[in-house]
Amino acid sequence: MTAPAAVLTIAAEDEDGEEDCPGLSPHPAVPRPDRTKLWWIEHSLGRGRVVAHTCACQMTSYELVRCGGVYQFCRHALARRDVPPVSWTAYWWRREEAYEWWRRLLAGQAR
């Protein structure tokens, strides 16, 4: 009979001020000064499937999208003068390369 209490305790601990954060997806690290600058364009390779994504609570969120046998990133941002609301990496990668770039993006080494 103690299980419900334990669940409530965990839920309460998760509330650390970020009310809109579902807490399920990673938050990318702050970009490092020496990061690789990715080239973002306003069109995609075509319809793809999102295989990984960052947390939607952030002002800018990223998706790793698979389209056929290749991958590219999709970025959703609050529209600013220099950033369109949705953009895509101009590059596409094979699976291994794509996951390596995804890791760098999350680590703040590429953005």
Q: Assess 55 for contact with Zn ion (CB under 5 A).
A: yes
Q: Which stretch binds Zn ion (CB under 5 A): 5-13, 28-36, 57-65, 103-111?
A: 57-65
Name which of 16, 103, 17 is nearest 62 in CA terms: 103
Q: Assess 21 for contact with Zn ion (CB under 5 A).
A: yes
- Residue of 57, 67, 77, 106 interacting with Zn ion (CB under 5 A): 57
- Contact (CB, 8 A) for 67 and 50: no
Q: Which is nearer to Zn ion, 44 or 61 (CB)?
A: 61
- Contact (CB, 8 A) for 75 and 88: yes
Residues at the contact surface with Zn ion, assessed by CB under 5 A: 21, 55, 57
